[in-house]
Amino acid sequence: MKISAVRPFPVWVGTRNQLLVKVETDSGLFGWGESGLSGREKAVAGAVEHYARFLVGRDPMNAGALWQEMYRSQYFEGGRVLTAAISAIDIALYDIKGKALGVPVHQLLGGRQRDRVPAFATVTAEPGPRMVADAEKLMAEGWTAIRLFAAGQGASAVFEPRESIAATVPWIVKVREAVGHAAILGVEYHHRLSVAEAASFCQKLPAGTLDFIEEPIRDETPEAYEALRRMTDVPFAIGEEFSSKWQFLPYIERGITQFARLDVCNVGGFTEAMKVAGLAEAHYVDLMPHNPLGPICTAASVHLGAAVPNFAWLECRSSPVEKAGFDAREVFPVQVRLDGAAYVVPDAPGLGVEVNEKALTEPLRFWEPPHLRRRDGSYTNW
């Protein structure tokens, strides 16, 4: 069996762009993967086309060797664009291998360690009464792991960190009071704060209010996170932007992060994700995978979550309080199944996802993330 084609599909599905990749073989078997570099899908599609030039004619069963060849095949190895392309191709290769052997992907990763992959839900309401009500609704329906959004992450083009902190703190306290300590509560700051701002935010909250804070500052400098760690005892959830085990390395080895927000569609697919999982396990760090994309990313994350011992929760964007519109049944008629607050581990060969290729008709839209400014006119992070 040889690879006969590697085809990127930068398309609009449901409510967002997706970059799907189909790897075809001369045996008739094919696999699907997905890239996670949202907003820059065209760049990743170009990288996929480069890799396709030497992948055609190769054995799709040799995913590990092909990963190494893709990563090492240029002088400028690594980086988010290239590893997002490698991720999609690698996931598709595992889909092919599972189908060829008649086993689900988690069997290729060492076998099932759990029957259900627990998920966390996101309350997208701005801090206020609805945030509290949505958290209570989730708890009532069995969702005990809940992520909140800080103030100012809506449609406004202005983001002022100190204003966001002041508006967010009292309502997080109210959510904790409403749901009690049986709930796991986290807050997402989307790397919009400085070290001092993040420290002030955490210090304004009563001890025990948060179980984690996600991406409070940018991740280029591990030493900055180490400084923040000295100023707060709130666990960190970091890593959704990391594109390799090397990026994860200082955060795990130095005890900076307590949850690894690995994205299987960015980090390098299953081949690299399993290495990060092993590194995290050796340091007693649980995975909390980033999963904001589509059904292929969800399926890949569920297989990963089924096969590793160190796992917390998988991000879910289809909870009772958030219908993100990513399931798109006309495009993905067969998907992994969400049962309450957990995904059921599939037993079908490969990923267990089917794609209606004829429905991939709406071209990619050049969606651009918000370019946020402070009130003084300077740019800040989205």
Contact indicator for 310, 112 with CB cutoff of 8 Å: no
Residue 363: beta bridge partners?
Answer: 11
- Rounded distance between C-alpha atoms, residue 42 and residue 352, angstroms: 27
- d(Cα 111, Cα 114) in Å, to the nearest integer? 9
As given in the structure block, the two tokens for residue 223 are 């030493």
Q: Long-range pairs for 226-230 at CB < 8 Å and ≥24 separation?
A: 226/254, 226/256, 227/195, 228/195, 228/198, 228/199, 229/255, 229/256
Retrieve residue 369's tokens.
Answer: 């993330």
Q: Give alpha helix (H) positions in the chain.
A: 41-55, 63-72, 80-101, 105-108, 129-140, 161-179, 195-204, 222-231, 245-253, 269-282, 295-307
Q: Is 142 left (phi over 0), alpha (psi -120 to 50) or beta?
A: left
To 5 degrees, how large is the angle CA 144–CA 175–CA 141? 35
The catalytic site residues sit at 190, 290
End-to-end CA distance of the chain: 44
Q: How far apart are CA 308 and CA 247, in angstroms?
A: 20
Task: Please answer whether residues 3 and 29 qualify as being in contact, where contact means their C-beta atoms are separated by less than 8 angstroms.
Answer: no
- Of 299, 303, 297, 251, the residue nearest 274 (C-alpha): 303
